Amino acid sequence: MSYGSFPPAPGGRRGGTLAVVLAALIPACFAGWLLWSSEGDGKGAGGSGPPTASSTSSPPPSSAAPTSGAPSSHAPSSAAPDALKGKVVVIDPGHNPNNRDHPAQIARRVDIGTNTKECDTTGTATNSGYAEASFTLDVARRARALLEAHGATVKFTQDGKTEFGPCVDERAEFGNKAHADAVVSVHADGAGPGERGFHIILPKGVHGGGADTSAITKPSRRLGERLLDSFTEETGSEPADYVGDGSGLNVRGDLGGLNLTTVPKVFIECGNMRDAKDAAHLTDAHWRERAARGIAQGITDFLHG
């Protein structure tokens, strides 16, 4: 069960609530009109004398009418604006839209503890040219707004304003220095056509060089499990069956962003940009809002145990 769920997108149950209110008010208004009409007819026929108490009192309000200040049906179960006060969340939007202009810089090898890897990459794109780096920034910004609305301090590793990167080791260090309570790196996959779904990448237990994940593998798994549940619920997407064991959780020890973290951290691959059906979701702004909600809710559930 989600803790402090975020309110659903507009257009959900508001229409149903209005219909119920109108159904309750129309009969009451009609009854009042009949009472007024009958009194008017009596006076017009020569009826005089002081009005009775029943003729001057207003009809009692309908029990179905909403009371002032009552929560609407679309209110969250726990909407306290400070629900995440004191929590630090780092969102790591994968890649960078400017990486493509700096091929030499992002190709530089960096130490990830167990071996070396490229500083960063350009990421993938849909067949129509929608870049992963644009997708990750959009979803990250939406998730940031949701988390900040609940009091969290949200920091980005990059917001598309740097020349390139940062490198994968720097992304990990950013979360470490922020003493983040949770870090989520947002991505989209570039698998083959026909391979669909999302998955969460968890840090493997590694110890070597500058890498030691022994203290964060268990909390990172809990974070990943919360994300898996909330993302499934919010987007309706299924866990990818082309990686790992089909559970939607995939453990890897070859990613610098995970190897070098000292705080709970996971990657989420929100879908496959190279599959036409997944790409239709990833390029849709409404679906990206649901994806952001799934990420924000998963982080919230993790932070509250």
Distance between alpha carbon 246 and the CA centroid of its chain, in Å?
23
Q: How far apart are CA 95 and CA 137, in angstroms?
A: 9
Q: How far apart are CA 136 and CA 273, in angstroms?
A: 12
Q: Is 118 a catalytic residue?
A: no
- Beta-bridge partners for 125: 131
Both structure tokens of 189: 């996959």
CB 257 within 8 A of CB 92: yes
CB 99 within 8 A of CB 191: no
Question: DSSP alpha helices (H): ranges in the chain?
Answer: 14-44, 53-56, 103-107, 132-149, 168-177, 217-235, 256-259, 276-282, 285-303
- DSSP of 150-207: TT-EEEES--S-SSS---HHHHHHHHHHTT-SEEEEEEEE---TT---BEEEEE---E
**Rama region for 204: left / alpha / beta (φ>0; ψ in -120 to 50; rest):** beta
| Marked catalytic residue, from 173, 225, 269, 289 | 269
Q: How far apart are CA 133 and CA 144, in angstroms?
A: 16
CB 243 within 8 A of CB 97: no
The set of catalytic residues is 269
